Structure 1
Amino acid sequence: MNLSLENSEKNLEANLQITGSKSESNRLLILQALYPNISISNLSNSDDSVVMKAALEKGNGLIDIHHAGTAMRFLTAYFSCKEGCEVTLTGSARMKERPIKLLVDALKSMGADISYLENEGCPPLQIKGKKLEAPSVKLAANVSSQYISALMLIGPSLPQGLEIILEGQVTSTPYILMTLEILKQAGLNGSFKNNRIYIEPKVDVENVSIPVESDWSSASYFYSICAIAESANIKLSNYKKESKQGDSCLAEIYRQFGVKTIFSENSIELIKEKGPYSRCLREDLRNSPDIAQTIAVTCLALGRECILTGLHTLKIKETDRLLALKNEMEKFGAQVKITDDSLHLLPCKSLKEGVEIETYNDHRMAMAFAPLALKTKITIKDANVVSKSYPDFWEDFKKLGFKGQ
């Protein structure tokens, strides 16, 4: 479905309930599979979480997780330690290009039985579940935090727990801390100090119900709208000030765009305030790479230069997000320079009209570019791709006066 979007509203107001965090939901689903006494509320309705839940319920045979990268990493670790199960874990054509070798090597060093069925280092994988008894494992620290979290989540179920020794500079620290916090909420103990994570073993946990905080990555698109709009007041729930999600840094970053965040007990209120602001935005996003697209497009809309760094993981996402951003922003007349881990945007004075945005099977490309409709009429190609993380996205957008056909 291609969607032509425009919005001529001057004052934007809405009160929105955002789906539960995909990151938190998928971690809790793994823990629930290991410890059935855990119950979950406000579970994400994203495609990724639906696929994860279905895979855990199936438990054997051929399991296709489509585009869900988190599911691929977490399930690889989970099925490796699930004694007696035998699965073939596969996904979309893009998933078969996404590297998983570092995680597979770490699990194999612990005794896991995993084979590559097509290309070395990438899915699909054949996994024969075994009792993993190795007490420790080493992993490069600058890889996707999902590899690290995948090992942390199975750690409590192993006979001796698990020590994870991280080699090099750690990136995406907030996601490691999020995993630790979720383990703690479930009654499982762990620590993270000096590049060493230790997860204590535990056979059972008491009955516990854990609510999922709404997704901060999903909130980013409303921060962008608020920044671009002439006037805006948008209330979002369920959010908390002391969030463990790395993308909660949005509240601080978007102050530089004149967006004030007011925290209430279970929600945030975004209010547009007036400048002045610096001409060039500089941000190191190594701990929150998922909001890079949103920030870049906000700067494009406002005619502000930006230099974003710490983006080395974007090249192995649903698409090469750095290249995709460059391609699509240049259609509007901007100049974009990219390296393996950075993006430098030199915006144009006025945006070209009627641009069609390619989304590259990437939900965040569709959602990040959508707020540009406040400035010029655009078309989002394959708009349904948003269901990967935020199925209600377009319905919520309509509540803010966006018109699509």
Structure 2
Amino acid sequence: MFRPLELFIGLRYTRAKRRNHFISFISLISMLGIALGVTALIVVISVMNGFDNELRTRILGMVSHATISSLDEGGMSDWAATQKKAEANSHVLGSAPFIEREAMLQGDRVGGAIVRGVLPDQEPKVSEVDRKMKAGKLEDLVAGRFGIVLGRELSYKLGVDVGEQVVVYAPEIQATPVGAVPRLKRFTVVGIFEIGMEEYDAGLAIVNLEDAQRLYQMQGPDGLRLKLDDMFNAFGVARSLAEELGQYYRVRDWMQGHANFFRAIAMEKRVMFMILSLIVAVAAFNLVSTLVMLVQDKQADIAILRTLGASPLSIMGVFMVQGVVVGAIGIALGTLFGVVLALNLEAIVKFIETQFNFTVLSPDVYYISDLPSDMHWSDVGLIALLGFGFSLIATLYPAWRAARTQPAAALRYE
């Protein structure tokens, strides 16, 4: 079978037992360094993807993909008809009315929170709060009974539990014969939920929509919360819906409320990628010293090839093949180990925790106590391509130096 001269000689040099074992040792170190760097990069990026996915899932468990809010302070009076029009859109999987206002809550202690009014039978269409209940049920929010569901951290802050009462103060003043007093209502705690996000567990209280309307003296809900088939196209779909409805509405998607949060995660991911890429680069550029020493060791062979008619480009090709082969083996090993670790990271971490009796992420400290991993094959391909690029660049200088070898000077003392 025909093989180019450069490939044939380069592979032969790679397989041959070298007289200088130090060169072989440096090649092995370079190979293992590339493998280690690629492994670390795949695992860390997979963990960053896992945290991003876990946080997005928890946030979307309480936040709808998009909201359409009325600009009328009294609320959306014709919300039922508006909901039918919204659900007729092919991109809308579900919708539910809501009221969302700030309030001061008083139990044994006082704390501020966001009070969200919902319809218990429709809320599961746009959120997962019914599946995150730790005590009671969302269905216990019956209109007229003034029940309230609190986040677990909020219940701790207020010092109340299921069956106890809290007073909700609306940030509005009403006139009475004894003067201006804040509007307030006594609610009974009928349930406690836990999402795993401090923003909601410590700052959200849920009541029935009709009870919220009475507390805030509204004629209807603030608007509709939507669940869509493509959460990344939420703003566009919500905007087109608002235009179809023919009135003035405020449109907001889930990314707008958490833009800085997800932007910070994306920035951390890019920074970690760049830092760990330097590890791969350092390991790849160890090939420079390996190939420079090899070129020096093979001066006579290079001179003979030149006298037999090999061009400088052919000589460059020989040593580039050697460097690329070493790099490719390191990349292949690193990719294999990285993929295996990324796919089994959670099981490996649990095994280590069991064997050594310690916790990597304590649930008492971190809301996410597992180490999630979400490997994307596109990331694996990009990392492998990056490692290959570094290996190829590292071969250029030694190969160019080999191509400049003068046969007469190299064979003078042979």
User: What TM-score, normalized to structure 1?
Assistant: 0.26
Report the structure number with the largest CA radius of gyration.
2
Higher helix share: 2
Which structure carries more relative contact order (alpha carbon 8 Å, separation 6+)? 2
Higher strand share: 1
